Structure 1
Amino acid sequence: MLFVLKMKSLFSPILSTFPSHLSKTTPFSTSFQLSQTLLCKSPSLQNPNFLPMKPVMASLNSSTSSTSVEGPGSLIEASRLSSGEIHVIVGPMFAGKTTALLRRINSESINGRNVAIIKSNKDTRYGLDSIVTHDGEKLPCWSLPDLSSFRQKFGADAYEKLDVIGIDEAQFFEDLYDFCSKAADHDGKTVIVAGLDGDYLRRSFGSVLDIIPLADSVTKLTARCELCGKRAFFTLRKTEETQTELIGGGDVYMPVCRQHYVNGQAVIEAARIVLESRKVQCDSYLEAAPVI
């Protein structure tokens, strides 16, 4: 009994130093409350346009990170590098790619971001200074032969303030990959690309498919088959021209489903054979005709 009393007296000073009004879980709950207080004061929750710097903060908080950030200027530059995005919109003709692009650009502009739109100067169907949908929706744009000249023509200072760049008819730009990579990875821009993923023979068109590995998102739109009304994934060329780049509207192309694409190509090929045989017969007749 005496031994038990002595042991109790040894532990009692230690227990008496722990405040009676605190529970064992208090340090955790206090830490949680503090973190909640800091989060409530975070500008990312107060300002909906604030872009969180997740990659930067992760590298700063990690003890194993090899990234070196020195000074406030370097921190700002690092945050800009982590904010770029690439979004790709593809589909056949008449699928609403340009409409989707303009809708996204309008949304970004309403949210207070600086935007600009580029299109190829090869497309002159609706003028050079505007991007126009098949439904008549219009926005001013920069019409350029290539994307590499955009920064110079737009102005270096204006480019630095630019947040979002829209690119329409992207299949016509040969330097699409290099431009998107630099704009998003190094300049911190959000790039929204709209273009054909395939030509009239269902082959890769331009460099649109090349930037998919760079993209944050890819949206594949469909049109309505003009022959049966089903979903159309492909573009059928109505004319006999065989060059890949042939700019035109409903007079040259129509969206079709898989069945009518295959059938349509068969009909076009049969018509081509008939026309060629008639041409051969006509040439033979002209050669055999007597000269008077």
Structure 2
Amino acid sequence: MFIEPKRGKAKDTKSGWIEVITGSMFSGKTEELIRRLKRAQIAKLNVEIFKPKIDVRYDENDIVSHNQNAIRSTPVNTAEEILLLSGNCDVVGIDEAQFLDQSIVEVCNKLSFQGKRVIVAGLDMDSKGLPFGSMPQLLAVAEYVTKVHAICVKCGDIAHFSYRKSNAENLILLGEHDIYEARCRTCFQEN
């Protein structure tokens, strides 16, 4: 279980940091992101939440987990918009970071240097089992990384691959159980 770090002070400035929640589809990334953001809201922290505008699977505005847990967010086209819209908040939440442009790493770093807690969720690998978008760079610069796992639909083992059941070749293909399923390494390779 993730233990929320205590905010420290150094030379009269707030210390920010980056947390990354990653794993395959159906592993609970968004559920964990929402849990952390709601706890920050309960603590009366000023929270701003963002998601890529292209992600309209459950709702155009809200971030929604597969369990239908939801939290209000602001859809953005680019990572730079997050800098403009985050204002004087204490905590910035970002879902589906793999769909944002490469500047997401720089944006997260800038926000953390401003003293903000930045919580990012995203797929670490695409449906081919390769690193996805800027996630490897985000994992490298984050102070805290949480890797969550799903259950393999074929054998019941721990799954960390997002297997695409469709033959579509495009890298980004939004979908749910109709297009993707979680698989372990062995079952992913069996196709």
Give me the TM-score of the superposition, normalised by structure 1: 0.61
Read off the aligned partner of 1:190 and give its amino acid letter.
R
- Kept in 1, the 8 Å contact 2:17–2:118? The answer is yes
* Equivalent residue number for residue 55 of structure 2: 123
Bigger proportion of residues as strand = 2
Read off the aligned partner of 2:81 and give its amino acid letter.
S
* Equivalent residue number for residue 142 of structure 1: 74
- Kept in 1, the 8 Å contact 2:105–2:137? The answer is yes
Question: What does 1:205-224 align with in structure 2 at a 5 Å threshold?
Answer: 205-224=132-151
* Equivalent residue number for residue 85 of structure 1: 17
Give the deviation of 1:51 after TM superposition. 4.0
1:39-72 deviation digits (Å, cap 9, x = unpaired): xxxxxxxxxxx8442x32xxxxxxxxxxxxxxxx
Q: Distance in 1 between matches of 2:8 and 2:95?
A: 29
The alignment yields a C-alpha RMSD, in angstroms, of 1.4
**Does residue 94 of structure 1 match 2:21?**
no
Name the CA shift for 1:52/1:195 in 2 (closer, same or farther; >3 Å). closer
**Does residue 247 of structure 1 match 2:174?**
yes
* Equivalent residue number for residue 179 of structure 1: 107
Q: Distance in 2 between matches of 1:212 and 1:104?
A: 18
1:104-152 deviation digits (Å, cap 9, x = unpaired): 0011111111111100011111121111000111111000111211343
Which structure has more relative contact order (CA 8 Å, sep 6+)? It is 2
Read off the aligned partner of 1:202 and give its amino acid letter.
G
Bigger proportion of residues as helix = 1
* Equivalent residue number for residue 94 of structure 2: 167
Read off the aligned partner of 1:211 and give its amino acid letter.
L
Q: Distance in 2 between matches of 1:168 and 1:101?
A: 8
Ranges in structure 1 where 5+ consecutive residues have no aligned partner? 1-49, 57-74, 265-292
Give the deviation of 1:213 after TM superposition. 2.3
Q: Distance in 2 between matches of 1:52 and 1:237?
A: 43
Q: Distance in 1 between matches of 2:7 and 2:95?
A: 26
Which of these two proteins has the greater Rg computed from alpha carbons? 1
- Kept in 2, the 8 Å contact 1:237–1:254? The answer is yes
1:159-183 deviation digits (Å, cap 9, x = unpaired): 12x0000100000111211100110
Ranges in structure 2 where 5+ consecutive residues have no aligned partner? 1-5
**Does residue 227 of structure 1 match 2:154?**
yes
Instruction: Tell me how many residue pairs correspond in the alignment.
Output: 185
Q: Distance in 2 between matches of 1:227 and 1:190?
A: 38
SS of residue paired to 1:122: coil
Structure 1 segments of 4+ aligned residues over 6 angstroms from their partners: none
